[in-house]
Amino acid sequence: MDPDHVTFTTGVIPAVSSLVRSLTNVAEKVVIQPPVYNIFTNSIVNNGRRVLANPLRYEHGAYSIDFDDLETKLADPLTRLMILCNPQNPSGNVWGADDLAHIGALCAAHDVTVISDEVHCDIVRPGMAHTPFAAVNDVNRSICVTCSSPSKAFNVAGLQSAYFICDDDGLRARAVRGVNTDEVAEPNDFAVFSTIAAYTACDRWLEDLRRVVQRNKDYVSARLDAESDGMLHMVASDATYLAWIDCSGLLERVGDATAERFCEHLREHTGLVLSYGGIYGENGSRFLRMNLGTHAGLVVDGVRRLLEGAASYARR
C-alpha cells in the first residue's frame, strides 16, 4: 500500500457523507444493499441524493446478492455511486472475491464509483480472511474508495480515528478535496497514536477478541435453536460482533407482519434493548439486531431475556 494513498478522516460516516457530496451531484442516485447499516441512507438523503435499493436475497437462512437487479440499478443513467458494506452489517456476510469482482465489473461497465465501507474487516470468524474490495483486481482498485477505522475492533470510536484509501489519482483528488472542504480530515494526537498502536501492537489481542466474539455468536445461535421453539433463529454470521435474528417463526405464530412490536415488548417487559431490523431496510422488518461485543455474562443474560420475552409475547 502506498502511504500517499491513505487519507485520515475523523470517522467513517463523516467520510462517507463527504464522499457522497464530492463524487455525486444533487438528485443523482446511490445504490445500497438493504438490509444494511441505516446511516448510509442518512448520508445519501441528507445530502439531496436519492437512494436506489438493491435488496439482498434471503434464501434458506443465508444472504446473497441479486446481480440481475444490481445491474438494472447500475444501468440507470442517474446512478453515479454504490456504497458497499464489506463485511456486511447487519448480516455478517463476508463477501468473497468472486462476488466482489462481479460487483466491480458491473460498476465499471456503468461508470459507477464504489465506496467500500470495511470498518468491520478486523472482526471475522477465526480461520477466515476478509477480502478488501480494492484488492480483488485492478478494475476494482481503479473505481474504489475504501473506508475503514480501528474503531470497531479496538473500541476507540470516541477518539475519532478513521481513514480512506484510494489508488486512482483523479478519484483520490476529488475525495481528498471533499474531506478537507468539509473539515473532517484533521487528526488529533490521540487518534494518531491509538491507530498506530492498534495496527502494530495488538495482533494477539485481536486474535483473542475474534475468538470471544465467535464464542458469543455460537452460544446465542445454539440457545435460540434449542430453546425458542422455532420462533427465533440467528442468521449464520462470519463477521462483525452483531447477531441478526430472524423472528419469522414468532411473527407467524402471533400474526404480526414485522418485529417492531416484539422489539417494543422486549424493552418494556424484559429491559432488553435491541435494534428493530426495519431501520436497516424494509426487508429487515422481520429481524432484530443484537450487539454481542461484550463479556459472556451480559450475553447470557441478554439471551435469557430474549427467550423469556419471546415466550411471553407468544402467549399474548
293 and 186 together in one domain: no
13 and 100 together in one domain: yes
Give tens-digit pLDDT for 168-206.
999 999 999 999 999 999 989 999 999 999 999 999 999
From 136, 166, 201, give the residue that closes a domain: 201
Locus of grid cell 485481536: 206
170 and 185 together in one domain: yes
The answer to whether the CB of 230 falls within 8 A of the CB of 249 is: yes
178 and 214 together in one domain: no
**Percentage of the chain surpassing pLDDT 90?**
99
Amino acid residing at 40: F
From 175, 201, 227, give the residue that closes a domain: 201
CATH number at residue 15: 3.40.640.10
| Pairing of β 29-32 and β 50-53 | parallel
Phi/psi for 240 (5° steps) reads 70, 170
273 and 172 together in one domain: no
48 and 134 together in one domain: yes
Give tens-digit pLDDT for 245-268.
999 999 999 999 999 999 999 999
The answer to whether the CB of 64 falls within 8 A of the CB of 96 is: no
Q: Give me the pLDDT at residue 316, please.
A: 84
**Quick check: pTM over 0.75?**
yes
Q: Give me the pLDDT at residue 187, please.
A: 87
Phi/psi for 246 (5° steps) reads -80, 120
Residues in CB range of 211: below 8 A, 6 or more apart = 126
From 154, 173, 201, give the residue that closes a domain: 201
208 and 189 together in one domain: no
Q: What is the mean pLDDT of residues 99-109?
A: 98
249 and 296 together in one domain: yes
The answer to whether the CB of 6 falls within 8 A of the CB of 163 is: yes
Kindly indicate the confidence band of residue 1, based on its pLDDT and cuts at 50, 70 and 90.
Answer: confident
Task: Tell me which residue range forms the domain holding 249.
Answer: 204-314
191 and 208 together in one domain: no
**Number of domains the chain contains:** 2
108 and 237 together in one domain: no
Phi/psi for 272 (5° steps) reads -85, 120
184 and 214 together in one domain: no
Range of lowest pLDDT (134-138, 145-149, 187-191, 276-280): 187-191
193 and 229 together in one domain: no
